[in-house]
Amino acid sequence: MTTLSPENSLSARLSASFILVKRKPSIDKTEWDGFFDENGQLAKSRDFICVNILERGLHPSVRTEAWKFLTGYYSWQSSQDERLTMNSTRRKNYESLCQMYEKIQPLLENLHRNFLETRNNITCDIQKLYDKDPLGNVLIDKKKLEKILLLSYVCNTQAEYQQGFHHMVMLFQLMVEHDHEIFWLFQFFLQKTEHSCVINIGVSKNLNMLNDLINFMDPVFAEHLRGKGAGTVQSLFPWFCFCFQRAFKSFEDVWRLWEVLLTGKPCRNFQVLVAYSLLQMVREQVLKESMVGDDILQACNKLIDLDADELISAACLVYAELIQKDVPQPLKDFFL
């Protein structure tokens, strides 16, 4: 039996409470403001806030500020004055990067074929986005999105632009007002969720752990996937590339899951438990119909319009079950 640390014991208890208790009202502006003292420093611990975000979520009125703590845009120990200074620094750094990009853009266009190809891919992806709500109101600035994605690509020399990043940046643009906020929140989000821009480092690692988790938790399903479903798990890379955003019925559901991933609760690499929970939704159909690889993938792709709370609850249940088992070392290192 796995010996749990105090941190893991806390995570197990909060997982169980999330599963068994209907979610309380989200953290609103009044409650959020009450977390700070007269100097604007957090009077509550990071763990306290993160556990509450897992169990309850954030009201839209506090999401922008809370995400700046969750991503690392702001330090959890900062005062109000320090955050004002940091925001100014982030803005100046962003402006410097923009000036740098303008200077080297001609060089990139002439000497780097990958730059032209990536710019075309970004432009095409951005144009496909719906930029208006049902009433015809413009939601997003496509030119701004394109600029931020290009700058992100140029500044991350080891990273590649991935299809799906345009959806991510769009959601950040809907959340915050200023260009520098969108840019830095996007950068920090990719880092904090272990969703690396480099597939070989981030996404493949998650897929391998998902495969190991299936083998350990569900040997019957694992055996089927090794046979008729060969390659199915590796084909699920869009789940991690897009951080599951295609599975949900609303932007609110996407933000709800993403902020839980940012808390690190109830465990590290919670995104893999989310992916496992999604696979479990099609498990019975796959086994009953003896589905092969392409059919399994098609069934997975039909998992849409989901409720984020229900999916988070299912993943918490997987975690609660996992910590009761004699977990092999690779999984223990990844989750416990």
* Cis bond upstream, residue 60 (ω within 30): no
List the structure tokens of 91: 């803005």
Q: Which one is predicted more confidently, 42 or 229? A: 42
CATH no. for 89-192: 1.10.8
Mean pLDDT of all residues in 197-217:
81
Contacts within 8 Å (CB) and 24+ apart, 230-236: 230/293, 231/293, 232/293, 232/296, 232/297, 232/300, 233/207, 234/207, 235/293, 235/297, 236/207, 236/210, 236/275, 236/279, 236/297, 236/300
Model confidence band, residue 190 (pLDDT cutoffs 50, 70, 90): confident
pLDDT tens for residues 64-110? 999 999 999 999 999 999 999 999 999 999 999 999 999 999 998 88
pLDDT tens for residues 280-317? 999 999 999 999 989 999 999 999 999 999 999 999 99
Range with top average pLDDT, 18-32, 170-184, 240-254? 170-184
Mean pLDDT of all residues in 320-327:
92
The pTM (predicted TM-score) of the whole model is 0.89
pLDDT score recorded for residue 156: 78
Domain boundaries, the chain: 89-192
